[in-house]
Amino acid sequence: MRALLVVNPAATTTSARTRDVLAHALASDLDLTVAETRYRGHARDLARQAAEDGRTELVVALGGDGTVNEVVNGLLTHGPDPESHPRLAVVPGGSTNVFARALGLPNDVVEATGALLDALRDGSERTVGLGHAAGTRGSEDEGVPGRWFTFCAGFGFDAGVVGRVEQQRERGKRSTHSLYVRQVVRQFLGDQNRREGTITLERPAPDGGAPEVTEGLVMSIICNTSPWSYLGNRPLYPLPDASFDTALDVFALSRLSPAAVTRYATQLLTSTPERGPHGKHALSLHDLTAFTLHSQAPLPFQMDGDHLGLRTSVTFTGVRRALRVIV
């Protein structure tokens, strides 16, 4: 099998030794080419070339969730086509590795490599659904190109936290869970839009009538799988029913007062695969194939933990059976 190994040398737990050991192990079973990323978006370009060359059957991503996201967007440059596109394999090399862990892979490079080799020998794979986000037609963000995400997106508060973390990392800080916690506190204290919700969720009515509209939301999380993220080794389940086998789930809050934050944060930290945060200020929607989020003020936007700047309107699509993955 002809395969491409895409390595992000800057990933949190990736080293030259890790890369060499992994490449040696994979080369024993594959016709392997190794490529290191050298700039933001390089993993996407490499994966796109692999998808277009007509010969590569497998692309292996060694890195964090950002590297995986780029590879997926490269593979799906011309849209989802699981039968003809190269398959994807993931070896976790970042600080959180939500996508890999959601697939059931070990959160250790060596163990994940062993699991990948076993899956290749057994021919074990699954076809997963993905989320897609693009600028909304008729809005000022209409020209923003569409992008795929593997496990989550966020509009508002959580995207602001991601942006703050990225700023700290650019200053040389290491990506740790304590860093995220500190930025959550700072985002809460500095978020000017948390008192009055500026977000409106609009989705098609099931009967084809007027769209269903929910106004006054202060934050929104969109999940393609569960859990949404991890705090250390603790999984967080804002949307326990989210799955790679369905479309998209949405969790939103209409209040971020200190009391509300305390309540929902506690519920999130104690959430389980059976029960997530709930209450009169919480909105949970399951298996949506299409919806749009509008905001009266520009808000931070993130996908798979990558901060993408400020947006006023984003249209989401959930696509079932979008990509084959080795598991």
- DSSP states of 172-203 as a string? T----HHHHHHHHHHHHHH-TTSSS--EEEEE
Phi, psi for residue 30 in degrees, rounded to 5: -130, 155
- For residues 110-130, give the mean pLDDT: 93
- Lowest-confidence region among 53-62, 89-98, 160-169, 267-276: 160-169
pLDDT digits (tens, 9 = 90+) for 224-257: 999 999 988 899 999 999 999 999 999 999 988 8
pLDDT value at residue 266: 94
pLDDT value at residue 168: 86
pLDDT value at residue 206: 82
| Average pLDDT in the chain | 92
Alpha carbon distance 98, 105 (integer Å):
10
- pLDDT band at residue 167 using 50, 70 and 90 as cut-offs: confident
pLDDT digits (tens, 9 = 90+) for 286-319: 999 999 999 999 999 999 999 999 999 999 999 9
Cβ proximity of 74 and 47 under 8 Å: yes
pLDDT digits (tens, 9 = 90+) for 259-272: 988 999 999 999 99
pLDDT value at residue 191: 76
Alpha-carbon distances of 67 from 9, 40, 48, 139, rounded to whole Å: 10, 9, 13, 30
Q: Taking 80 as the threshold, does the pLDDT of residue 192 lie above it?
A: no
pTM: 0.92
pLDDT above 70 coverage of the chain, percent: 99
Q: Which residues pair with 283 in a beta bridge?
A: 252
**H or E element in which residue 161 lies:** helix 157-170
Strand locations in the chain, DSSP E?
A: 2-7, 31-36, 58-63, 87-92, 125-135, 147-149, 152-156, 199-203, 212-217, 219-223, 229-231, 234-236, 248-253, 282-288, 290-303, 306-326
pLDDT digits (tens, 9 = 90+) for 5-31: 999 988 777 778 878 888 898 898 899
pLDDT value at residue 42: 97
Q: Label the pairing between strands 229-231 and 87-92.
A: unpaired
pLDDT value at residue 169: 76
Q: Taking 90 as the threshold, does the pLDDT of residue 190 lie above it?
A: no
What is the end-to-end Cα distance of the chain in Å, rounded?
16
Alpha carbon distance 22, 14 (integer Å):
11
Residue with tokens 């508060």: 157
Cβ proximity of 289 and 318 under 8 Å: yes
Q: Taking 80 as the threshold, does the pLDDT of residue 176 lie above it?
A: no
Q: Label the pairing between strands 290-303 and 306-326.
A: antiparallel
* Helix, strand, or coil (residue 27): helix
Token pair recorded at residue 84: 């003809």
Alpha carbon distance 218, 194 (integer Å):
6
Angle separating helix axes 65-75 and 42-52, nearest 10 degrees? 30
More confident residue, 191 or 299: 299
Q: Taking 80 as the threshold, does the pLDDT of residue 40 lie above it?
A: yes
Phi, psi for residue 197 in degrees, rounded to 5: -65, 130
